[in-house]
Structure 1
Amino acid sequence: MRLIGPILLASVLLLANCASPQPPLRRFTTSIPQRSPLTIAVIGDQQRTSEMEVWREQNTIHADLIREVVQSRPDALILLGDQVFTGSSSEDWRFFDRIMVPVLKARIPTFPIFGNHEYIGVDEVAYSNMASRFRITRSTWYSMIMDSIGFVMLNTNFDEFSRDTAVKQLRWFKTHMRQLTENPAVRCIVVCGHHPPFTNSAIVPDEHILQQYFVPLFERSPKSRLWLSGHSHAYEHFRHRTVHYVVSGGGGGPRHLLYLEKNLRRHDDLYPGPMIRPFHFLTIQRDQSELCVTMTPLSGQESPQESFMIGPLVDAER
């Protein structure tokens, strides 16, 4: 059994709740949509607050946010990790299944990545809970192409890896970045990884392994445009050269404070929001030679929506 970060979960509670995998209500479809143009929704950090986190925000908005995601009529949905609090908890996965019923009913293709909370508990059970719902996660990192956008879905839980596994993923990343760059059908590349290479969170740090090894490879490609992450329960928007780095961790987990003061913040945030950011989801649409990225707050929140264009994209060869 592994315990992540400073959260010291009681062994008796974990063992009682993590004895065996929780079978899903129904397996999510992971068929990659082939039509164009597409609207791709993104949401991160849906885990509910643990009953042991008595000092943290207790939220009940998860189902409301998913309903609003489905109402936006996306053609696909990306989950940025931390779908649940405890990866091997049957109760947590039952909660996830309940809030995701609208996605299942609408048969929206859904593509998740692994967050650190998917590793809490008994590893084999936690992995089975993911793999039984999402056929595509039989490998914990993968790539796909939707609407001429190459998506690279990383597993950024480096603390959980052996050195050999970490090197294997880095080599895979380098190979797939080259293949997507050389593929004439791909007009831009988007990376999705749970841990952010850049964040102003007061709770979690920048992921330096990503900064050192993955970001330079990503920025080397002329097709690289967007890096999506979660882990910081907030919305943040940074830009470095031609690449936008967006943290989208507003799916329902207890929100993080951000450092906004000049003497505390690590990076300049392009979003003019407060220290606590709204619950939200993203949509990505390709509009001819640009990507349109929109952050939509949950209804009833005062924080403004943000929408920005990324381009130009590389022309497709015919």
Structure 2
Amino acid sequence: MSEIIKTSHLTKTYQQQHAVDQLHLTVNQGDIYGFLGRNGAGKTTTIRMLLGLIKPTSGRIEIFGENFFKHQKDILRRIGSIVEVPGFYENLTAKENLSINAKIMGVHKRNALEEALEIVDLQHETKKLVGQYSLGMKQRLGIARALLHYPELLILDEPTNGLDPIGIKEMRNMIQTLARERNITIFVSSHILSEIEQLADHIGMIHEGKLLEEISFQQMKERNRKYLEFQVSNDHKAAMILEKHFGIVDYVVHLGGNIRIYSHVGQQGKINQALVEHGIEVFKIMINEDRLEDYFTKLVGGGAIG
């Protein structure tokens, strides 16, 4: 499988502070690559460097196997992108806006505008002015503009920002369709864990400018384990019982009297009985599985994303 994006030691420094620090990314052909990190982690700075909007302080970028700095103009012809909220002439229709962009981009293929609008399901909005569009419709029109020249790589910076749940689902379905049916490699950044979890084949996690890990979604699922979770009245005493009576050592005590047990799944009845017999109230028993949020939290050492 060929590498579409590859960075080495990619760094961007502002006034001696690293916005991006020694970044090593690899995005393979045909993948949906989820670039995950908190706001301010360095996602947009990375994307701006990949698109030539800002120059790196140091490091190397290869796209389509070519040195980006030597072949930037040719490479960018093969990339579509949305960075932040796409801007349009609000007193024009979608097709009129795309027509202007097609001329600027040198797109002359017949029916290119109609095809792009059909892909994003805006083909019937022929008379409505863009100023009357919802944010979700504007985001879809931004995708249409990015697809006008039939790119091989699509780079999207927080494409679901500000969208309602229906808009988020539509955007997710569209991205998956573009990857699967049109074989477009997609690099999408987000701070929304649940979206990346439902969308990406591979995930790169960035924190304070540093890449913490690159991992396939399948590998992440294999690493994450099922666990029993007990909410109890006395977690300290409960932990002692787990160790003494069941030999359980693979557990974690969380705030609020919650204990996660990563072994003995299926023995929750016996554990519950022992806890109750020793005078511990059990308020809740659940069987769960670590999700991307748990995995990310472990990597960054705690704290919420967002």
Larger radius of gyration: 2
How would you bin the TM-score normalised by the shorter chain?
0.3 to 0.5
Q: Which has the higher helix share?
A: 2
In terms of fraction of residues, the more strand-rich structure is 2
Question: Normalising to structure 1: TM-score of the pair?
Answer: 0.31
